[in-house]
Chain A
């Protein structure tokens, strides 16, 4: 059965800190890995990663995938209180169009 595990489950840091969120996966015929940010409502799409070693970047957020070691990290630099959210990692298997989600990392940024 396909599986996604995120760590840590919860993280509290001060504004301005840099954080790294982890996502490991086991999936048959991996196709892509996605990161979402969930505040009080809809998960918002952040990144989709398909190839190993290619960093995706959007402002202070960046992510990279390691298909050999079966994990991805999401980095947030110079954190702000608006970054407080649950960050979800999900994978697609080949031929399957359903996303398998991890349990999420709850990130809290204190001023």
Chain B
């Protein structure tokens, strides 16, 4: 059973460009969560999605950030007009239907904004 997949693993963007991060949950999991980890800090919740629904986006910055989890395909975290402060590791986690615990994490995407 493949784990949570994320790509790319490393992404370099110049200020002002767009970043798209992809996450494919574990097989059988329909709940996806995105977390951000700034250098020397713990993980911070960003958004929780089910297929075609955003359930909780209380951790998302109000501007430039958006997330989706379409009926087909991976979940996408999109950051428009990136700034240096967006440089971080972005982790995706998934969990099975009906359970909100034991989230399994992907390897993360390390975003560097130059």
Give me the interface of A with B, judged by CB distance under 8 Å: 4, 31-32, 34, 36, 41-45, 48, 88, 90, 92, 96-104
The 10 nearest A-B residue pairs measured at CB: A97-B100, A101-B42, A98-B45, A42-B105, A41-B107, A103-B42, A101-B43, A43-B105, A42-B107, A104-B42
Centre residue among B35, B43, B102, B108 by max chain A CB count within 10 A: B43
**Contact: B101 with A34, CB < 8 Å?**
yes
A88 / chain B contacts, CB cutoff of 8 Å: 42-43
* A-B contacts, 7 listed (Cβ < 8 Å): A34-B103, A41-B108, A42-B3, A45-B102, A92-B101, A96-B56, A101-B44
Number of residues in B with C-beta < 8 Å to the partner?
A: 27
**Contact: A48 with B42, CB < 8 Å?**
no
**Contact: B56 with A43, CB < 8 Å?**
no
Residue of B nearest to A102 (CB): B42
Residue of A nearest to B3 (CB): A42
Main secondary structure of the interface of A (DSSP, over half): strand
Give me the interface of B with A, judged by CB distance under 8 Å: 3-4, 31, 33, 35, 41-45, 48, 55-56, 58-59, 91, 93, 95, 100-108
Q: How far apart are B52's CB and chain A's nearest CB, in angstroms?
A: 17
Q: Give which listed residue, B3, B56, B91, contacts A97 with CB less than 8 A.
A: B56
Contact A34 to B102, CB < 8 A, known contacts A88-B42, A101-B42, A103-B42:
yes
